Amino acid sequence: MSFPAMRSAILAAKAIAPSAVGSMGAAPMATFATSAGSPRRKVAVLGAGGGIGQPLSLLLKLNSQVSQLALYDIAGTPGVAADVGHCNTKAQCKGYEQDKLAEAVRGCDLVIVPAGVPRKPGMTRDDLFKVNAGIVKGLVEAVGKHAPGAILNIISNPVNSTVPITAECLKAMGVYDKRKVMGVTTLDVVRAKTFYAEMKGLDVANVDVPVIGGHAGATILPLFSQATPKVPLSQEELEGLTKRTQDGGTEVVQAKAGKGSATLSMAYAAALFADSVLRGLNGTPTMEYTYVDSNVTEAPYFASKVKLSTEGVEKVFGLEGMTDYEKEGLKTMMPELMKSINAGIDFAKEASKAP
């Protein structure tokens, strides 16, 4: 695909005109529309050798807001960096392995964490938690020590737990800033837009669907009553769309016959979200949905609309205009969401006591 064609595709995905700013989805990826005075930004991908990390690294290489791209994993990243680095865009790439984590994150403006094992058939989110919690803790502690001012985008599942783990680790180190820790739930929004557009025969470039809650199963709550453009949905259609959005990850795992998970769509969604974070840092406020430290509900972490600005999350917006169906979904999700949050907090606290 040529750069002009890719630009058109990204514009369509973000559903805006090239000059638009400050709306949901922000603006096109900065490779194609960046002011000459944009600051130089270092971005790290921790887990860059994996199924999400490799395509995400490629997409970040296309973003001209990125001047340095640090790719870290336990093995293989020099090769990934050499491969991605041959793309003729301005970001300088370097791969880091094993004991080079500190060097990889030092000086970063944004650190994206897709590291961990993917979900496999029959694997619950709890199973995933046991493996990935320790991985995330170690990476976050390195960021807290060597790049305490960096924004963290957490992709590693289960996000409902790994974001609280991240926060607790940084709190224990005395460097926690709730504006700078975000769970990436953009894939839920991407899926909701896609499924809604397909069902109703809409141009997906013009579709927006808010998605709130968490990032697992029933904790994912798309607000189709607030979708644009607004088209009627039967109760059967509404329930089908909601269920499909919640089960999007399982749909991909099953389609890959247990040999993979949602890596490409997750990389795409993470790249869109990273672009919005960088635009906010560079002085163009953007609006996104993300899982953050929140007082919108009784849950201490919750995904809702936020304003991203020069320090990260500038404002967390409340919930408005929900239907009875959506209010019931919110009520139903809370026990599961709170259980996942508490599991993350408890893990981090117990880990901090270990010798």
Catalytic residue numbers, as ranges: 215
Cis peptide bond N-terminal to 232, omega within 30: no
CA distance 339 to 322: 24
CA distance 72 to 94: 9
Buried/exposed code over 37-66 (b: 16+ C-beta within 10 A; e: otherwise):
ebeebbbbbbbbbbbbbbbbbbbbbbbbbb
Q: State the burial class of residue 6 (Cβ atoms within 10 Å of its Cβ: 0-12, 13-18, 19+).
A: middle
Asked whether the beta carbons of 53 and 114 are under 8 A apart, the reply is yes
CA distance 7 to 12: 9
* Count of Cβ atoms closer than 10 Å to residue 293 Cβ: 19
